[in-house]
Amino acid sequence: MDWQNEDLKYIWHPCSQMKDYETLPPIVVEKGSGINLYDINGKCYKDVISSWWCNLLGHCHPRINAAIKKQVDTLEHVIFANFTHKTAITLCQKLIKVLPKGLCKFNFADNGSSAIEMGLKMSFQYHYQTDNPQKKRFMALNDAYHGETLAALSVGGVDLYSELYKPLLLDVVRINGLDCYRCPYNKCRDNCSCECFEQAENAFEKYGNETAAIIVEPLLQGSAGMKIYPPLYLKKLRQLCDKYNVHLIADEIATGYGRTGKFFAFDYANVTPDIMCLSKGLTGGYMPMAIAVTTQKIYDAFYDDYLKGKAFMHSHTYSGNPLACSAAIEVLNILEDEYIIEKAQDKAKYFNKIIKEKFLQLDNVGEVRSIGLINAIELVKNRETKEPMDSAKRTGYQIYKKALQKGVILRPLGDVIYFNPPLIIEKEDMDFVTDIALECMKEVLFEK
């Protein structure tokens, strides 16, 4: 059977211009192991983007496989209203040990965008029920990405996803100033005092009284091009939120579970958000699940007699799914038993070192930035002026296509080539994927 044509006959792929598939048809994957994926012809691809950043510990991890197999013979699913199960309870017991202090109430969803929706609605309803009905707006950072449902798009700031839908979106207060590579204050992210924070102070002074919450991707703005900013910004933001009675919502969907080198990106700042949204690495990339975790204080504002109408009436059919919970528990077990995050930090030093050595030799590489095992290479037309590449040439996409031919999955963010591999990647694979990426980059940049 011609599986590629059968795919194109039926399937509308996400985040894709399907016309591109005329020249680059879908790769039919048959199996996976570690960071490797194998297509139906046996060709191996190194998955150094963790299949959209969710594959935390490698494909088909034997321990996670076993946990799900064991669970499926006991309980596959049960309604999570007025029912519960040991697997969900155990997951919460384990998570609370690694979460920032004070986060203790878990509301389950089935994808990251839904967790964001829950966090926003939770914040709005909290303020409504604590005599602050004027707090109806949200703040978000410029170039943010928080998902693709309408409220999540509203707080996002990447026009590629949201521009068309702006007539449908919430009126969000946008805070500028976090592009550290092109810092308008001419500072460096490694030793600045977050002078750009004055933008947040100005926004809070003007809109703080009517704002319910500000949502942030802590330290790393992923879809904006893996933009990295200092932990000090989060510390200052926590103080500002306290001053104006504004909730701080942490979107740790992409940054949690060791991606930045600590369990959560907020750990670098040593402060606690009011609501934290989790997904992706939560189940190791195995099962769709997300959680919005909050504080006792927020939870208490919803706790009352039923007829008072204060309950949080937000639900998902697959909330607390036992199969997903079993995978999530085993992920935590593996991280602890095998010291995965600690080992990944050691490997990250090597990874960043060889990437800088290899790629900064190219005149079109403006910056190499890294946090944890995440490394981003921003291509520019002119290194001195930091002028971006001509987007119409789709340079990143051309590099992606060449890398696929040579067995490496890069999938760039515009003209930012990045590596965000499973935490179990070894040095041998780091050498291979960076060599291939450099080779492909040279072929595209220097071709006549």
* pTM, rounded to two decimals: 0.97
| pLDDT tens for each residue of 264-292 | 999 999 999 999 999 999 999 999 999 99
Domain with CATH 3.90.1150.10 in the chain: 3-60+340-446
Domain with CATH 3.40.640.10 in the chain: 66-337
CA-to-CA separations, 374 to 181, 313, 315, 344, 395, in angstroms, rounded: 16, 37, 34, 11, 21
* Residues contacting residue 366 through CB under 8 Å, at least 6 positions apart: 181, 378, 379, 380, 383, 386
Q: 66-337 sits in which CATH class?
A: alpha beta
How long, in residues, is the chain? 448
| pLDDT tens for each residue of 214-249 | 999 999 999 999 999 999 999 999 999 999 999 999
Residue 448 has pLDDT above 50, yes or no: no
Backbone φ and ψ for 78, nearest 5 degrees, come out as -155, 145
Q: Encoding tokens for residue 31?
A: 């199996």
- The domain 3-60+340-446 is placed in CATH, from the list 3.40.50.300, 3.90.1150.10, 3.30.70.3280, 3.30.1600.10, at 3.90.1150.10
Residue 16 has pLDDT above 60, yes or no: yes
pLDDT for the residue 4 = 96
The SS3 of residue 47 is strand
User: pLDDT band at residue 160, thresholds of 50, 70 and 90?
Assistant: confident
* Residues contacting residue 120 through CB under 8 Å, at least 6 positions apart: 138, 151, 155, 212, 213, 215, 249
Residue scoring higher pLDDT (157 or 280): 280
